[in-house]
Amino acid sequence: MTRQMTGAQMVVQALKDQGVDTVFGYPGGAVLPIYDEIFQQNEIRHILVRHEQGAAHAAEGYARSTGKPGVVLVTSGPGATNAVTGMTDALMDSIPLVVLTGQVPTFMIGTDGFQEADTVGITRPCTKHNWLVKDTDKLAEILHQAFHVARSGRPGPVLVDIPKDVQFANGAYVEPAKARTGHYQPQVKGDIEAISTLVEAMEKAQRPLFYTGGGVINSGNGACQLLRELVDATGFPITSTLMGLGAYPASGKNWIGMLGMHGTYEANLAMHDCDLMINVGARFDDRITGRIPDFSPKSKKAHIDIDASSINKVIHVEIPILGDVGHVLEDALKIWKSRGRKTHAAGVRKWWGKINEWQAVKCLTYKNSDKLIKPQFAVQRLEALTKDMDRYVTTEVGQHQMWAAQFLGFQEPHRWMTSGGLGTMGYGFPASIGVQIAHPDALVINVAGDASFLMNMQEMGTAVQYDLPVKQFILNNERLGMVRQWQELLHGERYSHSWSESLPDFVKLAEAFGAKGIYCDDPRNLDDAINEMIKHDGPVIMDCVVEKHANCFPMIPSGKPHNEMLLGEADTTGAIADGGAVLV
């Protein structure tokens, strides 16, 4: 027997049936029927953000820290367009989001109605898939399909655009089990022949390296466990992208740090010199590869990815394996064990000798000061004082993000939320709200810059309203630090619009919202300030005033290969050639 209900009731029912406990949203004319239904129930918690971009990023934070899809509910027109950045961010970083938008009634579509926008048209390139629902009878099934698509294969954002008359009209509700999820069933099992080829290559490799990415985390905790088992059993070194931090523990004995533009010396040189690169759920992003013709010239490359379009997109690989990381690693381990757990022990030992030499360079060293807080020192102290806590970290985008990635250690997946692919300033604060909603008792810190924080600071209202004790740790250099760094390196130190004029007093800003503000500009007081921030039971903005002209090193200048890294405050003039200057 089918249940008849209104479209608005279907939305709430479908969310419940999909196991949704939290929705991040902002009401408006075209979603009023749905908000009316939300008002009349208690199972789904609605978090009222202060801007729709905040809703999308909060849902991303929720999703990244739980592995479940984040749900966003916004109105038509500006509600939808404001969420576009969050959806694009989620698409680049493979984060499952289900975004529900209101739309003008079907009979008004195309008339340039009030708050009308072509939402499915605008969001087509920034979602995995989207739907405009014109018939209430189809709504429930589409909602279930939306969750299926968001979760399946390479996860990503989906959008369902629901005209207001469809929300009011009656229709038949379809249970999730009865919804046709169609032909969209991405392949998860890898080809055994290809996996065997990989195992054979692993047995012979003298300079092997695991290069892992966010795909491991998306594949689930099981995949992370299998990765750890495989890495520890083979004794191969492992590096990870920004997105993959925590899949293998930072304290693990084979960990050689993050790779990429601001990755460690040892990780990047290992990438350059390895003879077998095993890419597990990463995508050869340009922050990783540097100059493509010089990328790891001597290695045989394997690539495990659930998305066929990621394989051979940028870098040609000899051993492509299409499938889910967890499934493929399970088979690889099984095959490797059954063939006698072989590795080229002498070669790998020699390889570690080389890596240890690179590690001895201590590429993250910086010159500390007893007068000014160095940003690296601030993050180091944050790590020292919080590493044993039940801690989740989000970041904004820029230098502080890279320092956080370099100096914070992640022992578990889902603990590190950062905007990797899109590089969205303004991501971290709302994301920290989403994380705190999902983990109410955990310590949630957003490592921020002064400029990034301002991009979504209105969410202080959300943090205070829901009493979310998120800690905004602002490394305040009164600069757009990364922009300034690039201007120094390749635009003749002409610092065009890269300073933060007229910054607010962050302590007063916090207090104006009813939160706590902490100011610190003296390295001797830093520990006390951080401890005060952690201990305060409520939202905190900590204005940590740091040295203004610190640069983030190591750095692979754009257009350069891995083995031409800049290490610290050496002479950096002319480090980037004309060809590199056109790159981002």
- Residues near other proteins (CB under 8 A) are 120-121, 124-125, 128-129, 132, 149, 153-154, 182-184, 186-187, 191, 194, 307-309, 311-313, 316, 320-322
Cβ neighbours of residue 385 closer than 8 Å, sequence gap 6 or more? 527, 530, 531, 534
In terms of Cα–Cα distance, which of 327, 323, 308, 302 is closest to 227? 327
Residue 263: CB minimum distance to other proteins, A:
26
Give me the residue label for tokens 């406990």.
21
Helix (H, G, I), strand (E, B) or coil at 177: helix
Q: Which is nearer to other proteins, 21 or 318 (CB)?
A: 318
Residue 141: CB minimum distance to other proteins, A:
13
Residue 302: CB minimum distance to other proteins, A:
11
Q: What is the token pair recorded at 105?
A: 């009634």
| β-pair partners for 499 | 479
Residue 118: CB minimum distance to other proteins, A:
10
CB contact at 8 A, 394 and 435: yes
CA distances from residue 195 to 68, 228, 323 in whole angstroms, order as listed? 29, 18, 10
Residue 321: CB minimum distance to other proteins, A:
7
Task: Show the CA angle centred on residue 218, arms to residues 407 and 212, nearest 5°.
Answer: 55
Residue 515: CB minimum distance to other proteins, A:
41
Residue 427: CB minimum distance to other proteins, A:
23
Residue 219 belongs to what H/E stretch? helix 214-219
C-alpha neighbours within 13 Å on the C-beta side of residue 374: 15
> What sign for the dihedral angle of Cα 18, 19, 25, 28?
positive
C-alpha neighbours within 13 Å on the C-beta side of residue 287: 19
Helix (H, G, I), strand (E, B) or coil at 394: strand
CB contact at 8 A, 243 and 93: yes
Give me the residue label for tokens 């729709």.
52
Taking the CB of residue 508, how many other CB atoms lie within 10 A of it?
A: 13
Task: Show the CA angle centred on residue 366, arms to residues 365 and 372, nearest 5°.
Answer: 150
What is the distance between the alpha carbons of residues 244 and 250, in angstroms, rounded to a whole number?
11
Residue 197: CB minimum distance to other proteins, A:
10
Burial bucket for residue 464 (CB in 10 Å: 0-12, 13-18, 19+):
middle
Q: Which is nearer to other proteins, 127 or 241 (CB)?
A: 127
- Write the DSSP string, 485-547: HHHHHHSTT--TT-B-TT---HHHHHHHTT-EEEEE--GGGHHHHHHHHHHSSS-EEEEEEB-
* Strand 276-280 relative to strand 170-173, pairing: unpaired
Eight-class DSSP state of 351: H
CA distances from residue 324 to 153, 305, 488, 538 in whole angstroms, order as listed? 8, 7, 42, 40
CB contact at 8 A, 243 and 410: no
Cβ neighbours of residue 23 closer than 8 Å, sequence gap 6 or more? 15, 38, 44, 45, 46, 47, 71, 72, 73
Active site (catalytic) residues: 52, 114-115, 164, 482
What is the distance between the alpha carbons of residues 137 and 146, in angstroms, rounded to a whole number?
15
Residue 484: CB minimum distance to other proteins, A:
32
Residue 279: CB minimum distance to other proteins, A:
13
Residue 241: CB minimum distance to other proteins, A:
20
